[in-house]
Amino acid sequence: KKHKYVVQVELDVPRAMTQFALGTEERKKQLVELEVLLHHVLDSHLDLHYYQGFHDVCSVLVLVMGSAVEAAPLASRLASSYFREAM
């Protein structure tokens, strides 16, 4: 089942990662990873709500971990524990 924040994620992702020194092609690649990660976390936790700023947290995870697949366990854990009250 899909989460109910698909449109909001699709609006936020293109505006993400502008503060990082990434080339155009690298930023595009990372934005794809970010979108995959956000959808994965929200699809996996349908009880959570998306909030402005969660994409910024996940942006850092994607950049540090290297991919959505690698970042997913940590992002899910953060969303369901540390950020749970906000989500």
pTM: 0.90
- The CA distance from 43 to 28, in Å, is 23
> Secondary structure of the chain in the HEC alphabet?
CCCCCHHHHHHHHHHCCCCCCCCHHHHHHHHHHHHHHHHHHHHHCCCCCCCCCHHHHHHHHHHHHCCHHHHHHHHHHHHHCCCCCCC
The one-letter code for the residue type at 37 is L
**Residue 82 or residue 63, greater confidence:** 63
Model pLDDT, residue 3: 84
Q: How confident is the model over 4-56, as pLDDT tens digits?
A: 888 899 999 998 998 888 889 999 999 999 999 999 999 998 999 888 889 99
What are the tokens at 52? Answer: 């402005």
pLDDT of residue 4: 86
